[in-house]
């Protein structure tokens, strides 16, 4: 059981690594939390620091989820890889290294699915970009990606995947509640690069 605790702790700590804060401060001398939405995720990094920084942060956040999900295998444990991924998502949302104010767990959750179900990840990314192309809303497209993942998990009939994707989707939608209000009020920013 001690190994379970170690995996949970490490997954949380990996998820807590504030990629947006690190990239902003190291390479731009900017605290990303003081600009845009104040969020530590890739979307605010794109808006505040540009495409290069945004891509870097998004990829780093995806890899956090992938690495966390791989921990049970690295430790040769039967701890569920998806469960490890959930703790990484929690770490991203409530990072100990950034005063428990993090991102929305979209990329980190996607990284977990990349490890466990790569085809699902690809389908989700395709749906995300189709939505992004049509609406220009990153927030809405993130929700579309979460719903796509949920539908895919139901079709897969994999109980563990259904449970974890349901949890991750709830995280993502809940964290976007203010974005949903702004979309309704037509005040949500749209991207200009696609």
Q: What is the pLDDT of residues 97-144, one digit of tens each?
A: 998 989 899 999 999 999 999 999 999 999 999 999 999 999 999 999
Beta strands in the chain (DSSP E): none
Residue 23 lies in a domain: yes
Q: How far, in whole angstroms, is CA 92 from its chain's centroid?
A: 7
Residue 89 has pLDDT above 80, yes or no: yes
Question: Minimal CA–CA distance to 14: which of 76, 77, 85?
Answer: 85
Residue 30's domain spans which residues?
2-184
Structural tokens at position 64: 């956090």
For residue 192, tell me if it sits in a domain.
Answer: no
- Domain total of the chain: 1
Dihedral sign, Cα of residue 72, residue 77, residue 82, residue 84: negative
- Kindly tell me if the per-residue pLDDT of 193 is higher than 80: no
pLDDT (tens digit, 9 = 90+) per residue, 156-176? 999 999 999 999 999 999 999
pLDDT at 110: 95
Q: For residue range 29-53, list pLDDT tens digits in order.
A: 999 999 888 888 888 888 889 889 9
Residue 164 has a pLDDT of: 94
User: How far is residue 86's CA from residue 104's CA, in Å, rounded to a whole number?
Assistant: 13
What pLDDT score was predicted for residue 109? Answer: 95
**Does residue 149 form part of some domain?**
yes
At residue 23 the predicted structure's pLDDT band, cuts being 50, 70 and 90, is very high
In a domain, 194, yes or no: no
In a domain, 193, yes or no: no
């Amino acid at each position: 059981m001690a190994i379970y605790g170690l995996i949970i702790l490490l997954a949380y700590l990996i998820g807590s690594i504030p990629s947006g804060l690190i990239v902003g401060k190291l390479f731009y001398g900017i605290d990303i939390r003081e600009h845009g939405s104040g969020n530590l995720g890739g979307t605010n990094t794109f808006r505040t620091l540009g495409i290069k920084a945004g891509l870097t942060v998004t990829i780093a956040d995806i890899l956090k989820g992938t690495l966390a999900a791989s921990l049970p295998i690295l430790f040769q444990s039967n701890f569920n890889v998806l469960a490890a991924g959930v703790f990484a998502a929690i770490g991203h949302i409530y990072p100990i290294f950034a005063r428990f104010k993090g991102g929305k767990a979209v990329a980190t959750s996607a990284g977990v699915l990349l490890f466990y179900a790569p085809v699902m990840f690809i389908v989700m990314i395709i749906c995300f970009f189709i939505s992004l192309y049509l609406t220009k809303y990153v927030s809405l497209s993130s929700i579309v990606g979460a719903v796509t993942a949920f539908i895919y998990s139901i079709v897969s009939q994999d109980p563990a995947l259904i449970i974890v994707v349901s949890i991750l989707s709830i995280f993502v939608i809940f964290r976007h509640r203010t974005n949903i209000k702004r979309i309704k009020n037509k005040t949500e920013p749209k991207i200009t690069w696609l």
